[in-house]
Structure 1
Amino acid sequence: MKILTTIALILLIIGGLNWLLVGLFQYDLVAALFGGQAAVLSRIIYAIVGLCAIYAIALLPKLRTACHHV
């Protein structure tokens, strides 16, 4: 599970940085790397990042518990 959590967090960070670039500079790094918004590969990347976000929601209670133990 630790590997899955690490991968999910890395993809969420990449997704967040992509949205930062979109918001500040109107530059979509995923689309630039994988062939534009309509490309199938770009859509798959966006879907994977979205699934990682859903997985991260499940981690929130664990994070809260971990913070209380410190």
Structure 2
Amino acid sequence: MKTIHRIALVLVIIGAINWGLIGFFRYDLVASIFGGQTAGISRVIYALVGISGLICIPLLFEAHKEVEAERSRTQGYNNLKYETEFSDEADFTDIREYNKNNSNNSNNNNNNKQV
């Protein structure tokens, strides 16, 4: 995240805390610290928080980019190998072939018994 986005995010959090105080307790922290809502420094802080909110709008869509990147990374993992550092992955192809042959033989035996 860029430095400007971090600064903007901090200012938005400060603004959110101030709005929470106003909403729950009718207490404007910025105005009480800097001499009222019409004081010059209070107005500058309110303006900076507002601009920071606009700067943080693109951050809403970055999570979507991360999800898309994660999906594209995991699509290549359909054929996972469960090897460990101590042994190779077990090869079950001969077991599958054995099961196929036995199931074919048992089907043939059943067909021969019916005739």
Matched to 2:24, the amino acid is: L
- Superposition RMSD in Å: 1.4
Larger radius of gyration: 2
- Point out where structure 1 has 5 or more consecutive residues left out of the alignment: none
Shift, 1:58, TM fit: 2.4
Distance change in 2, residues 1:67/1:32 (3 Å): farther
Shift, 1:63, TM fit: 2.8
- Point out where structure 2 has 5 or more consecutive residues left out of the alignment: 71-115
Distance in 1, matches of 2:24 and 2:67, equals 33
**Which aligned pairs between 1:1-70 and structure 2 lie closer than 5 A?**
2-70=2-70
% same residue: 49
Report which of the two has the higher share of helix: 1
Q: How many residues align?
A: 70
Q: Which range moves more in the overlay, 30-39 or 53-62? A: 53-62
